[in-house]
Amino acid sequence: MTSIKKLSLLTIALFLIYACSSEEKIEFPEGLDVVDTEVGTGTAVAENDFVKVHYTGFLAEDNTQFDSSLDRGTPFSFQVGSGQVISGWEKGLIGMREGGSRTLTLAPEFGYGERGAGNVIPPNAQLIFEIELLEVISYPELWDYSDDELTETESGLRYKIVTEGEGEPLQAGDVAELFYAGFLEDRNMFDSSIRNPSAFYYEVGTAQAIPGWNEGVTGMRVGEERHLIIPSSLAYGEDGVGDIIPPDATLYFMVRIEGLQQENQ
């Protein structure tokens, strides 16, 4: 073997060692057993990320299935670290990569503890969850923009098409699956579809939303993403909404059309 070939093989070996060692090893607490049945290749889950998963839950004692998102045909979404789910999930999904599958075995203190959950999960039950990580969405942040990037309508709505969509434009009566995140001028996010445990559907042109939202979404196509800047006159005006949206607030939305609801759904 020539010295060049030897050097190449050594370089590859060192690269592989570095790549493997660069993955931070996560220590899970006692009572939380984590096994990656398939290691994903996408983004790794971190605190405050939003995730979309499919899961099936079993009672460890007799392997009885008590719940599954697969049976419902609808993925489950939540924000890691927000307290929306049991602590075994909050801790056990950290570091899991998008596209991977992981099995969690939870001692009772990481599940439903001494109380259990209704007639489904008995007190002090050890639980097993098989989880498939479909998507990781980092905590949304208000985008930066310049006025010359925006299109302004007669009503005062301003928007920018970030990603072009495909198919027919949305019109009144269409029901679309949306991703959205809404921000105030101070850059704080006040609402987002990814806080919902299941997909968010919206009927275009109804009183379900503020006028600026209706105008901004009408005409979008599947796959399209827009940034909307909605003046208070097209939002909640001088009243605002409780402690969430102050009076006379301009609202900033990122909106993406994920798909259309079919008539037979």
pLDDT tens for residues 222-257? 999 999 999 999 999 999 999 999 999 999 999 999
- Lowest-pLDDT choice from 40-44, 206-210, 234-238: 206-210
| Predicted local distance difference test score (pLDDT) of residue 2 | 45
In angstroms, the CA 209 to CA 203 distance is 9
SS3 59: strand
Distances in whole angstroms, Cα of residue 148 to Cα of each of 141, 152, 163: 21, 10, 17
The DSSP symbol for 4 reads: H
Per the model's pLDDT, the better-predicted residue between 139 and 98 turns out to be: 98
Instruction: Point out the residues that are catalytic.
Output: 55, 66-67, 86, 112, 129
| Predicted local distance difference test score (pLDDT) of residue 197 | 65
At residue 9, does pLDDT exceed 60? Answer: no
Would you say 51 and 126 are in contact if contact means Cβ atoms under 8 Å apart?
no
| Predicted local distance difference test score (pLDDT) of residue 10 | 39
Provide, rounded to the nearest whole percent, the portion of the chain with pLDDT above 90. Answer: 68
222: which strand partners?
Answer: 166
SS3 129: strand
| Predicted local distance difference test score (pLDDT) of residue 16 | 39
Per the model's pLDDT, the better-predicted residue between 7 and 157 turns out to be: 157
In angstroms, the CA 67 to CA 59 distance is 10
| Predicted local distance difference test score (pLDDT) of residue 23 | 54
At residue 165, does pLDDT exceed 60? Answer: yes
| Predicted local distance difference test score (pLDDT) of residue 264 | 38
Residue range 136-159: mean pLDDT, rounded: 91
- Token pair listed for 38: 């398939």
Residue range 156-185: mean pLDDT, rounded: 94
Per the model's pLDDT, the better-predicted residue between 202 and 7 turns out to be: 202
Would you say 92 and 100 are in contact if contact means Cβ atoms under 8 Å apart?
no
SS3 71: helix
Per the model's pLDDT, the better-predicted residue between 64 and 197 turns out to be: 64
| Mean pLDDT rounded to a whole number for the chain | 87
- Token pair listed for 132: 């498939």
Distances in whole angstroms, Cα of residue 57 to Cα of each of 35, 69, 124: 15, 9, 15
Strands 189-192 and 200-203: unpaired
Element (H, E) at 213: helix 211-217
